[in-house]
């Protein structure tokens, strides 16, 4: 769809059309060569290469991969974390701790940050939403991750059981009555995958689901699949919460919602995940007063908020805890997937706290 949009612009300029990088059929063909693998199952790729997938706690199916490679009669073990989960994601188990490795390749997205506590994040979210709805504006959340939304609502539900003050309950009721749109053609499928894999949730959450309190379901949740349904959201005058892809605002339906809400001082753009430098999301978070969307300059008058702790990534504390949990420590640690200052920050922190790796830790980017 993105390619079709760009080609329409190229045709109007008299330029030749460009083929898409891949088609829907290409994606379907790829699925045919995928094979499902269980967590904690050692898989033999060749007699000299074995792998095991462990729960990374980042999202459903995310994995830490252990790789054993035998060469010239000697076996080495490499651990690749992928995206490590934030340990207090309520719907998912914590990342699996690994006992040993010769080499560790670890992400460092939040190498320089500590996340907020869950109850603090939930109350902050509730206040932002309630204040925006009171002004008659929309809350636009750039994120495809259905899970993030459910996590926020799950935490609010827990807070509700603990809080008795009237002001909190009024804000909570306001949120529960507001329409919450997950604007993505894949959202229904993603939610269904959550429902089919509840065995991967934390035990406490599974028990609550068995009692009938399902955090994946709440009264105001609606899914929009078609482009027409998506457009109708921007024509509605009812204050609502719109969750839409992509999380960094580079492509997808979120750009249309930003175009219709960024200029409005009554609306709020609420970021709940990492914004890479140079992306539209990062420009908005960093305070730019005007941004270009679909070639049109849009004034940034909306309220801009960023609750970074709702990221699915581990923060500095839990990244370091993952390293310290090894019984047999890695000979070398390679830090990847992070801004250079954040990777340097976690390396310095590890060197101060953990002398046994200070002499041979390496930083790769």
The closest alpha carbon to 307, from 165, 118, 32, 67, belongs to 118
Q: Which of 6-15, 56-65, 80-89, 213-222 has the lowest mean pLDDT?
A: 213-222
Ranges in the chain annotated CATH 3.40.50.10890:
118-310
Quickly state the pLDDT bin for 180 (edges 50, 70, 90): confident
3-state secondary structure of 244: strand
Per-residue pLDDT, 120: 78
Give the residue-averaged pLDDT of 326-341: 91
Quickly state the pLDDT bin for 359 (edges 50, 70, 90): very low
Say which residue, 249 or 269, is predicted with more confidence.
269
Give the residue-averaged pLDDT of 261-281: 91
Per-residue pLDDT, 175: 84
Q: What is the 3-state secondary structure (H, E, C) of 71-126?
A: ECCEEEEEEECCCCECCCCCCCCCCCCCCECCEEEEECCECCCCCCCHHHHHHHHH
Per-residue pLDDT, 124: 87
Contact yes or no for 236/142 (Cβ under 8 A): no
Question: Span 42-113+312-358: which CATH code?
Answer: 3.60.15.10
Quickly state the pLDDT bin for 355 (edges 50, 70, 90): very low
Quickly state the pLDDT bin for 184 (edges 50, 70, 90): confident
* DSSP E strand stretches across 137-282: 139-142, 180-183, 221-224, 241-244, 268-271
Question: What gap in Å lies between CA 280 and CA 292, rounded to an integer?
Answer: 9
> Tens digits of per-residue pLDDT, 282-318?
999 999 999 999 889 999 999 999 986 677 788 888 9
Ranges in the chain annotated CATH 3.60.15.10:
42-113+312-358
Per-residue pLDDT, 352: 61
> Tens digits of per-residue pLDDT, 50-102?
999 999 988 888 999 999 999 999 999 999 999 998 876 767 788 999 999 99
Both tokens of 58, joined, read 């980042």
Question: What gap in Å lies between CA 172 and CA 309, rounded to an integer?
Answer: 21
CB within 8 A of 195, min separation 6: which ones?
216
Is the predicted pLDDT of residue 123 greater than 60, yes or no? yes
Give the residue-averaged pLDDT of 39-43: 96
Backbone angles phi, psi at 234, to 5 degrees: -85, -5
Is the predicted pLDDT of residue 365 greater than 50, yes or no? no
Give the residue-averaged pLDDT of 158-180: 82
CATH class of segment(s) 118-310: alpha beta
Question: What gap in Å lies between CA 87 and CA 55, rounded to an integer?
Answer: 12
Chain-wide mean pLDDT for the chain?
A: 85
CB within 8 A of 217, min separation 6: which ones?
none
Quickly state the pLDDT bin for 360 (edges 50, 70, 90): very low
């Amino acid at each position: 769809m993105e390619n079709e949009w760009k080609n329409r612009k190229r045709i109007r300029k008299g330029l030749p059309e460009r083929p898409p990088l891949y088609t829907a059929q290409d994606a379907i063909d790829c699925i045919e060569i995928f094979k499902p693998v269980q967590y904690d199952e050692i898989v033999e790729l060749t007699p000299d290469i074995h792998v095991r997938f462990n729960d990374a706690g980042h999202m459903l199916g995310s994995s830490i991969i252990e790789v054993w490679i035998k060469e010239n009669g000697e076996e080495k073990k490499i651990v690749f974390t992928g995206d490590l989960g934030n340990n207090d994601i309520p719907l998912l188990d914590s990342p699996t701790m690994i006992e040993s490795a010769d080499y560790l390749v670890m992400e460092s997205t939040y190498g320089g940050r500590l996340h907020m506590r869950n109850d603090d994040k939930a109350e902050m979210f509730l206040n932002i939403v309630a204040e925006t709805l009171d002004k008659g504006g929309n809350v636009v959340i750039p994120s495809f991750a259905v899970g993030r939304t459910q996590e926020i609502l799950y935490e609010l539900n827990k807070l509700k059981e603990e809080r008795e003050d009237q002001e909190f309950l009024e804000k909570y009721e306001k949120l529960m009555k507001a329409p919450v749109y997950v604007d993505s053609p894949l959202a229904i499928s993603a939610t269904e995958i959550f429902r089919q894999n509840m065995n991967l949730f934390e035990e406490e959450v599974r028990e609550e689901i068995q009692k009938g309190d399902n955090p994946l379901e709440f009264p105001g949740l609606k899914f929009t699949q078609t482009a027409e349904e998506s457009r109708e959201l921007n024509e509605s005058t009812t204050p609502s919460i719109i969750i839409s892809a992509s999380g960094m605002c580079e492509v997808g339906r979120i750009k249309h919602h930003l175009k219709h809400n960024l200029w409005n001082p009554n609306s709020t753009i609420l970021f709940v995940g990492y914004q890479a430098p140079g992306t539209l999301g990062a420009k908005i978070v960093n305070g730019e007063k005007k941004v270009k969307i679909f070639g049109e300059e849009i004034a940034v008058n909306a309220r801009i908020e960023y609750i970074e702790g709702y990221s699915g990534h581990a923060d500095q504390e839990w990244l370091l805890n993952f390293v310290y949990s090894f019984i047999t420590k890695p000979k070398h640690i390679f830090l990847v997937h992070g801004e250079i200052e954040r990777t340097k920050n976690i390396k310095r922190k590890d060197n101060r706290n953990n002398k046994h790796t200070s002499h041979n830790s390496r930083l790769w980017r």
